[in-house]
Chains A and B, each alone.
Chain A
Amino acid sequence: MAAINIDHYLLLSAVLFCIGVAGVLFRRNAIVIFMCIELMLNSVNLLLTSFSNQHNDPSGQIFVFFIMAVAAAEVAVGLAILVMIYRNAKSVDIDFFNKLKE
């Protein structure tokens, strides 16, 4: 069996990223969309860590911490927005939000 090298990690994170993108594009529930965005960010974390290991350079892993912190902040804001919307509309289905389109 061939050793696991950087290409495998690259492929795995690309697949994870694509699952995230597909979820954002095709799912209709706002919470599921948030989860898919998190999946996209986490695939980046995986990629950065494996590149960091390959290059023997810690800065990639430091970047992962920044991404984690920012993702946490983003989710906090996003959930607050969702709560605000749920209070007004009693729904988190994004098909409901096409009022501006007409």
Chain B
Amino acid sequence: MNTIVILSVTGIAAMMSDVFKLKKALFGLSLLGLLIALVFSVYDWGQYATYFNQMVLTDNYAVVFTTMLIGITFLWFLMSKDFFSSHSSASEHYALILFSLTGGVMMTNFSDLTILFLGLEILSIALYILAGSDKGNLFSNEASLKYFMIGSFATGFLLFGIALIYGATSSFNLQEISAYVQQHNGSLPMYFYAGILMILTGLTFKVSAVPFHFWAPDVYDGSPTLVTTYMLSVVKMAAFAALYRLFIYCFAPVYEFWIPVFAIMSAVTMLLGNITAVYQKSLKRMLAYSSIAHAGYMLMALASPGGTSRSALMFYLLAYAISTLGVFNVLYQVHKVTGREEIKSVKGLFRKNPFAAIMLTLCMLSMAGIPPVAGFFGKYYMFVSTLNGGLTWLVLIAVLSSLIGVYFYFKVIIAAFQEPELENTAYYRQPSDLTVLYICGILSLLLGILPQFVAGLL
């Protein structure tokens, strides 16, 4: 709970900083706020405490995901300093990012459907604005409008689902709903199941799973690159944490009903995401489709809940978010210098900065799931947990679609090691621009060598 309070206070302070002429110190202030929130979040480890009339529940699951969210946002801040300085309304941008992180943290700590809804909206409304933060650019405008429309459309479904669940169980509290469902299993009204399906629809819109993925490539492609990075790492993490928490804590007694839905969704999502990504020329759009495919792998945790699926989901999200940050750091620098976001724009990276090229390779290998980097163990844990759940066919499809994935991830790696095409490849002039890439590459490698330390947490 302290984490939520600290993050919102930091956000409000950022919003007020214009009044108090603190604009210069804002970057340091936000990082400090994030660090304090991180410390408080880790401090909650091992506790099982409820706050606000049992609406917020802090347990180890919440602590791990909260810490990951704040840590990833911290790294994101390190690579996005000039996102803020290039806009006239920097303080609002800081505030919006911090508010949306607050929403994300609420989504991992909720124990009441009210908090789930409020967290989701706090997370989303801030991002609708950020997606359109490049005001003069029609692409950014379009991304913002699409994200807004699809987001509120999905919210409508989520809310209708919540209302139906409330009607069937007369409670919004996860424990109470779960207990009620356990007791009355078999005699629940039809609209309870309709409610589960509608909540499922609303939340899978947010994680961009097929068939609710059509908005994702456009929004991820059109938004400013750094906002896309934030959406792909932090938002995806928060949405999956909430989805898993809701279905495991609340709807576990009727799991026969929703497991097949997730299994089919997962298979279709990863196949479609990977196959479409092959045809993309733009690196940003390719990463957008690959993020859809990754959502498919993550849904495997919901298709075989229980057992080790929880730690598998956590590890997969962490590995994916870290490698996304690294790759987008390169993409952002490339875009800044060349104004293009194609795969061939990274050509010549090895020539100018071999270390950066190696780090990019590590991040890409992590996305593709090749040992010895983190992504391999993410997939490995996920596949093992799904096999234990008895869904062999799903694992087979996952392995096949990973093979497709290897092809387009290697296209980027190969481009990085080729000779430069253009002479204006100056994006490696300032080594400090790529700090986050180095951090992410090394983290991916460390997580790949010693996965058991993190995976053993949950």
Check A51 against B138 for contact (C-beta < 8 Å).
no
Is B153 in the interface zone, CB < 8 Å from A? Answer: yes
Check A54 against B167 for contact (C-beta < 8 Å).
yes
Instruction: Tell me which residues across on chain B come within 8 A of A97, comparing CB atoms.
Output: 141-142, 145-146
Check B118 against A66 for contact (C-beta < 8 Å).
yes
Complexed CA–CA distance, A77 and B125 (Å): 7
Complexed CA–CA distance, A4 and B32 (Å): 58
Contact A88/B121 with A10-B167, A51-B166 known, Cβ cut-off 8 Å: no
Interface majority SS on A: helix, strand, loop or mixed?
helix
Check B125 against A88 for contact (C-beta < 8 Å).
no
| B123 CB → nearest A CB, Å | 12
User: From residue 85 to 102 of chain A, which have CB atoms closer than 8 A to chain B?
Assistant: 85, 88-89, 94, 97, 99-101
Interface majority SS on B: helix, strand, loop or mixed?
helix
Check B145 against A89 for contact (C-beta < 8 Å).
no
User: From residue 59 to 83 of chain A, which have CB atoms closer than 8 A to chain B?
Assistant: 59-60, 62-63, 66-67, 70, 73-74, 77-78, 80-82
User: From residue 79 to 123 of chain B, which have CB atoms closer than 8 A to chain A?
Assistant: 114, 117-118, 121
| B140 CB → nearest A CB, Å | 9
| A15 CB → nearest B CB, Å | 12
Interface residues of B (CB under 8 A from A): 114, 117-118, 121, 125, 128-129, 132, 135-136, 138-139, 141-146, 148-149, 152-153, 155-156, 159-160, 162-164, 166-167, 170-172, 191, 217-218, 221-222
Check A40 against B125 for contact (C-beta < 8 Å).
no
Instruction: Tell me which residues across on chain B come within 8 A of A44, comparing CB atoms.
Output: 156, 159-160, 162-163
> What interface size band does chain A fall in?
35 or more
Complexed CA–CA distance, A101 and B217 (Å): 9
Check B148 against A77 for contact (C-beta < 8 Å).
yes
Contact A24/B153 with A89-B141, A101-B218 known, Cβ cut-off 8 Å: yes
Interface residues of A (CB under 8 A from B): 6, 10, 13, 17, 20-21, 24, 30, 33, 37, 40-41, 43-44, 47-48, 51, 54-55, 57, 59-60, 62-63, 66-67, 70, 73-74, 77-78, 80-82, 84-85, 88-89, 94, 97, 99-101
Known: A74-B148, A81-B132. 14 other contacts (CB 8 A): A10-B167, A37-B156, A43-B160, A44-B156, A55-B170, A57-B171, A63-B172, A74-B152, A77-B125, A78-B128, A81-B129, A82-B145, A89-B141, A100-B217
Check B163 against A81 for contact (C-beta < 8 Å).
no
Complexed CA–CA distance, A55 and B421 (Å): 69
Q: Which residue of A lies closest to B169 (CB)?
A: A55
Complexed CA–CA distance, A81 and B191 (Å): 36
Check B221 against A88 for contact (C-beta < 8 Å).
no
Q: Which residue of B lies closest to A89 (CB)?
A: B138
- Show 5 residue pairs from A and B whose CB-CB distance is below 8 angstroms, ordered by the A residue: A30-B149, A66-B117, A81-B132, A84-B144, A100-B143
Check B148 against A84 for contact (C-beta < 8 Å).
no
Instruction: Tell me which residues across on chain B come within 8 A of A62, comparing CB atoms.
Output: 114
